[in-house]
Amino acid sequence: MSQQETHGFQTEVKQLLHLMIHSLYSNKEIFLRELVSNAADAADKLRYEALTNNDLYEGDGELRVRISADKDKGTVTIEDNGIGMTRDGVIEHLGTIAKSGTADFFKNLSGDESKDSQLIGQFGVGFYSAFIVADRVTVRTRAAGHNADEAVLWESAGEGDFTVETISKQTRGTEITLHLRDDEKEFADDYRLRSIITKYSDHISVPVEMFEAGTPAVEATEDSEAVPATEGSWKPMNKATALWTRNKSEVSDEEYQEFYKHISHDFADPLLWSHNRVEGKQEYTSLLYIPAKAPWDLWNRDRKHGLKLFVQRVFVMDDAEQFMPSYLRFVQGLIDSNDLPLNVSREILQDNKVTTALRTAVTKRVLGMLEKLAKNDAEKYQSFWTEFGQVLKEGPAEDFANKERVAGLLRFASTHTGEAKANVSLADYIERMKEGQSKIYYIVADSHEAAANSPHLEVLRKKDIEVLLMSERIDEWLINHLTEFDGKKLHSVTRGDLELGELEDAGEKEAQEKLQTESEGLVKRVKDSLGDKVSEVKVTTRLTDTPACVVAGEGEMSTQMIKLMQAAGQ
Ligand code: ADP
Ligand code: MG
């Protein structure tokens, strides 16, 4: 119609397109999952907007997605009657990547295609995956509530740029046509499409339909009339009921896994999940997933996280972070509440009794999932710990009420195993404590090597007392908030007094006193020459091989904490 404009893709989109085409060749069919997923999201968004403005339905409230192919032209079309996009929306959503940290993500790719393809999977390829199989993509879309002549035509060959043009489109929603590459024409086959769609869309809550040809005409016989040929009709390929509303026993593992991929944009299967319907004082359903791998932006402060929120099965918002404490920000999934109002906003959620109750319940549920995993499948738990342990360590500081439970889930390296692998729990430690030992000993150092070889360990080693070896950045922070577990104090071996209690034998005390008097002259000389640099010089029996070491006084900041504060610019 008019006003055709050419726009360049954002640099990161160009990089994504290039990488995707070259690295996702073994997983081509995922374009269909991404596009159907977007169409279903568009239906969800319209349903939500229409709650307050029923006119948006324009008399057509039967939301669905339709997929068709044209073998001769070599095209596949995915069409929805969801929320649609405006011209500005198209330019923004189909020309840029909205995720924060995207530029950094691309900077960090290795250039090794097989490695990068893994990362691309975690990043989420979304709409742009259309170009895995197409060398030209045409989008026609009209936003709900806009006039027919305010529709947009977007087109691109997936190289540097795309065009947009204002057109007329009677029906609301989005129609995406893929012009398949010569060697991808197999996708323009009804049978092939059908098999992919059944695999990817059973959990989708709107019908995903394909056209089925009518039955052929039946000739009239002597005793029956002729049956006219039917035109055929659109038939749903999926169950089209929201997966979490179904009974657990009726949902297969594959369906749970597919649903996870739909909501998380992850390519890999989740590590575990838990689906629960709760009735009584609160009424809600939760479906929570623990991913197998940490997302690329787990440490990005602006990363969106949280659960999808539904109210009485209507989608309300993505990334409702109010339901999950930050130290569980890796959890994916949804919550469907019967107690929140449908018009709930983020502001209302902030300060709401129902939210608090749900958050408490969901947090407990996740901790329960992890406890169960730790108990039943140590190996799987270990792989969880490797991916998310550092995040979980924020828990004791953040979640006072669940401090003990979170502490129970922590894993550390220890002098007992002699390995760098963090696989010792506080409970394991306590079980191995020596007769008369009342404290849990630990050391925090810059590296595992430094911790394991610290002279501070010597005396404990001599007495065969286990020490937890900590060397992650977060550990000092953790240990400041976790001072006790199961009634036992955590005690740093670098602190002034080791408080070995009953483990210290009487002879030792005498020997120390004797040494003390004998060494007075030496101690004075050392003190004089160090001057203000130290507050005290003491004779110690805690070292066996090393002549001297620096310790922090009781109640003073540890050397690690000082380093941490310095690094933070304080
Ligand atoms: P994501 O789905 O993770 O947001 P995508 O790349 O898949 O990322 O899609 C980008 C954006 O384009 C969507 O967030 C949405 O705003 C818009 N979009 C894509 N497909 C559709 C559609 N069928 N209807 C309406 N909007 C769409
Ligand atoms: Mg998407």
Q: What is the DSSP string of 174-187?
A: EEEEEEE-GGGGGG
Return the H-helix or E-strand segment holding 164. Answer: strand 161-167
CA of 441 to the centre of ligand 2 (A): 49
- 442-483 pLDDT, tens digit per residue, is 999 999 999 999 999 988 998 999 999 999 999 999 999 999
Lowest mean pLDDT among 120-134, 277-291, 378-392, 421-435: 120-134
| SS3 call for 536 | coil
pLDDT averaged over the chain? 90
Residue 111 annotated in ligand binding: no
Residue 402 annotated in ligand binding: no
Mean pLDDT of the 60-88 span: 97
Name the residue at shortest CA distance from atom 18 of ligand 1: 38
Residue count (the chain): 570
Q: Which atom of ligand 1 is nearest to the CA of 89?
A: 16
Answer whether 90's CB lies under 8 Å from 164's CB.
yes
The number of beta carbons lying within 10 Å of the beta carbon of residue 46 is 24
| SS3 call for 275 | strand
pLDDT of residue 265: 85
Name the residue at shortest CA distance from atom 15 of ligand 1: 93
Could you give the strand order of the β-sheet that contains 75-80, starting from the edge strand earlier in sequence? 2-8, 161-167, 151-156, 134-142, 173-180, 75-80, 65-70, 208-212, 233-236
Residue 531 annotated in ligand binding: no
Sign of the torsion angle spanned by Cα atoms 543, 545, 550, 556: negative
| SS3 call for 220 | coil
In this prediction the pTM is 0.83
Q: Which of 20, 38, 319 to mutate to test the pocket of ligand 1 (most atoms within 8 A of CB)?
A: 38
Name the residue at shortest CA distance from atom 14 of ligand 1: 93
Residue 127 annotated in ligand binding: yes
**Please, is 40 exposed, middle or buried when counting C-beta atoms within 10 Å of its C-beta (0-12, 13-18, 19+)?**
buried
CA of 127 to the centre of ligand 2 (A): 6
Predicted interface score ipTM higher than 0.85: yes
Lowest mean pLDDT among 123-137, 228-242, 480-494, 520-534: 520-534
DSSP label of 326: G
Question: Which residues share a beta bridge with 440?
Answer: 490
Residue 6 annotated in ligand binding: no
Q: Which atom of ligand 1 is nearest to the CA of 34?
A: 7
Could you give the strand order of the β-sheet that contains 314-320, starting from the edge strand earlier in sequence? 272-278, 284-290, 332-337, 307-311, 314-320
| SS3 call for 405 | helix
Name the residue at shortest CA distance from atom 16 of ligand 1: 93
- 256-284 pLDDT, tens digit per residue, is 999 999 999 888 999 999 999 999 989 99
**Please, is 136 exposed, middle or buried when counting C-beta atoms within 10 Å of its C-beta (0-12, 13-18, 19+)?**
middle
Ligand that lies nearest to the alpha carbon of residue 130, given by its number in the listed order: 1
545, pLDDT greater than 90: no
Name the residue at shortest CA distance from atom 17 of ligand 1: 93
Answer whether 445's CB lies under 8 Å from 558's CB.
no
pLDDT of residue 546: 72
Rounded CA separation 406/408 (Å): 5
Rounded CA separation 86/372 (Å): 48
Answer whether 46's CB lies under 8 Å from 144's CB.
yes
Residue 121 annotated in ligand binding: no
Question: For residues 247 and 111, which has the higher predicted lDDT (pLDDT)?
Answer: 247
pLDDT of residue 20: 86
3-state secondary structure 101-155: CHHHHHHCCCCCHHHHHHHHHHHCCHHHHHHHHEEEEEEEEECCCCCHHHEEEEE
Mean pLDDT of the 359-372 span: 98
- 306-355 pLDDT, tens digit per residue, is 999 999 999 999 999 999 999 999 999 999 999 999 888 888 898 889 99
Residue 346 annotated in ligand binding: yes
Name the residue at shortest CA distance from atom 25 of ligand 1: 84
What Å distances lie between residue 371 and 324, 410, 426, CA to CA?
Answer: 17, 10, 13
Tokens 């060697």 sit at which residue? 183
Rounded CA separation 48/95 (Å): 25
Tokens 């936003």 sit at which residue? 143
The binding-site residues of ligand 1, defined as CB within 6 angstroms of any ligand atom, are 34, 38-39, 41-42, 80, 82-85, 93-94, 124, 126-127, 174, 265
- The CB-side HSE value for 452 (13 A sphere, CA atoms) comes to 14
DSSP 458-512: HHHHHTT---EEE-STTHHHHHHH--EETTEEEEETTBS----GGGS-HHHHHHH
CA of 247 to the centre of ligand 2 (A): 27
pLDDT of residue 513: 72
- Structure token pair of residue 44: 């969800």
Return the H-helix or E-strand segment holding 78. Answer: strand 75-80
Q: What percent of the chain has pLDDT over 90?
A: 68
CA of 90 to the centre of ligand 1 (A): 9
Question: For residues 23 and 357, which has the higher predicted lDDT (pLDDT)?
Answer: 357
Rounded CA separation 216/232 (Å): 10
